[in-house]
Amino acid sequence: MIHNNKQTFTAEIKQFLSSVKEKKCCKKASDYAGTFLQEDIVLDRALFKCAECRNAFLRGVFIRCASVNAPDKSNHLEFKLPNEPDADELVVLLKECGFEAKVSKRRNTYIVYFKDGETIFQLLSVLGAQKYAFDFLNTIIEKQIRNDVNRVQNCELANMQKTASASRHVMDAIKMLEKDGELENLQEKLLYTALLRRDNPDLSLTQLAQIHEPAITKSCVNHRLEKIVKIAFGE
Ligand SMILES: [Zn+2]
C-alpha cells in the first residue's frame, strides 16, 4: 500500500479507527475525548472503567485532533490541542502508556508530537491501527535497508576508484620510464613485472601475480609496482 500524502494517510487511519467496535465503557471513554478537547477541563479518569478504556480515549483524541506523516515522509505524529492544560494532561496520559512526547506551541494551539519512527509505530499499534503501524514499520525497514545498501555501494565505489587511480599511476610510471629509455635499466625482476603490467593493463593484481613465471604473490607484485613508481617519480 502506498500512502504518499499526509492527509490521505491520516484520513485512512481515522476512518479505520472510527469503525472500531468499542465496548460500552470504551465507547464512552472515546466519546469523552470530544468533551475533553472542547472544554478546558481536568481529565476525568473515573471514566476509564476497563483495561482498554484509556486506549479508547486516546483513539478518540487521535480521531479528533491528530495527524501523522505518510511513512515514506519524515517521521512525525502530532496531536493538536486547544490549550496548555489539555496538552499537559495528554502528555501525562501518554507517559503512563510508555510514550515520551514533546510539546511545542504553534500560534494558539499546543502540539504534542513524536518524531521517532519506532515510537510512532508503537503508538499506532496501541491506538489499534496495527495495519497502518506495520505499513509504517515496513517503510522504516526499507529506508534502513536502502541506506545500508547505498553505504556499501559508496564504499565499494570508493575502493574501486582508489584501485583504478593507483593502477593508472603505475601505468604512467611504466610509460614514463619507457619514454625516457630507463625501462631497460630496471632490475631484471622489476623489468619483467613492468612489462607484464604494461601488456596486461586490465588484469587485477592477483591475476597479474598468477601470470608471472613462476607465479608470485599479489603482495610481491604490489611491492614491485611500488618500487617502479618510486623509481619513476621518486616517491
Ligand atoms: Zn472500556
Q: What is the CATH number of the domain that holds 19?
A: 3.10.28.10
Q: Are residues 73 and 181 in the same domain?
A: no
Kindly report which listed range (148-162, 165-179, 188-202) carries the lowest average pLDDT score. 148-162
pLDDT value of position 160: 84
Both 117 and 181 in a single domain?
Answer: no
Residues with CB under 5 Å of ion ligand 1 are: 23, 25-26, 50, 52-53
Confidence band of 4 (pLDDT split at 50, 70, 90) = low
121 C-alpha to ligand 1 centroid (Å): 23
- Give CA–CA dist 152/157, Å, rounded: 8
Across the chain, which distance is largest between two alpha carbons, in Å? 98
180 and 103 within one domain: no
Same domain, 108 and 174: no
Q: Give distance in angstroms: CA of 57 to centre of ligand 1.
A: 9
Backbone angles phi, psi at 214, to 5 degrees: -70, 155
Using the mean position of ligand 1's atoms as its centre, give its distance from the Cα of residue 85 in Å: 24
Do 110 and 22 share a structural domain? yes
Please report whether residue 14 resides in a domain: yes
- To the question of pTM greater than 0.85 for the whole model, the response is no
pLDDT digit string, tens, across residues 25-68:
999 999 999 999 987 778 888 999 999 999 999 999 999 999 99
97-150 pLDDT, tens digit each: 999 999 999 888 999 999 998 899 999 999 999 999 998 888 888 888 888 888
Bridge partners of residue 102, in order along the sequence: 113
- Please say which residue of 107, 128, 149 terminates a domain: 128
Judged against a pLDDT cut of 70, whether residue 235 lies above it is answered with no
Same domain, 37 and 117: yes
Q: What is the number of domains present in the chain?
A: 2
How remote is the CA of residue 68 from the centroid of ligand 1, in Å? 25
For residue 98 the three cell numbers come to 510508555
Band of residue 167 on the pLDDT scale cut at 50, 70, 90? confident
Q: Same domain, yes or no, for 18 and 89?
A: yes
- State the Cα angle at 137 between 131 and 143, rounded to 5°: 140
> Is residue 75 included in any domain, yes or no?
yes
Q: In three state form, how does the secondary structure of 209-228 look?
A: HHCCCCCCCHHHHHHHHHHH
Q: Is residue 89 domain-shared with residue 185, that is, in the same domain? A: no
Between 21-25, 84-88, 158-162, the lowest mean confidence (pLDDT) is in 158-162
Q: Are residues 43 and 120 in the same domain?
A: yes
Query: Which residue segment(s) compose the domain that 179 sits in?
Result: 166-233
Please name the residue that has the C-alpha cell 623509481. Answer: 231
Q: How far is the CA of 227 from the centre of ligand 1 (A)?
A: 81
- The answer as to whether 138 is a domain residue is no
Percentage of the chain with pLDDT > 70? 97
DSSP-assigned letters across all residues of the chain: -----HHHHHHHHHHHHHT----HHHHHHHHHHHHHHHS-----GGG--STTHHHHHHHHHHHHHEEE--TTS---EEEEESSHHHHHHHHHHHHHTT---EEEEETTEEEEEE--HHHHHHHHHHTT-HHHHHHHHHHHHHHHHHHHHHHHHHHHHHHHHHHHHHHHHHHHHHHHHHHTT-GGGS-HHHHHHHHHHHH-TT--HHHHHHTSSS---HHHHHHHHHHHHHHHH--
Looking at the fold, whether 122 and 220 belong to one and the same domain comes out as no
Question: Tens of pLDDT along 200-215?
Answer: 988 888 999 999 999 9
Rounded distance from Cα 120 to ligand 1 centre (Å): 23
Contacts of 54 (CB under 8 A, 6+ apart): 29, 48, 93, 96, 97
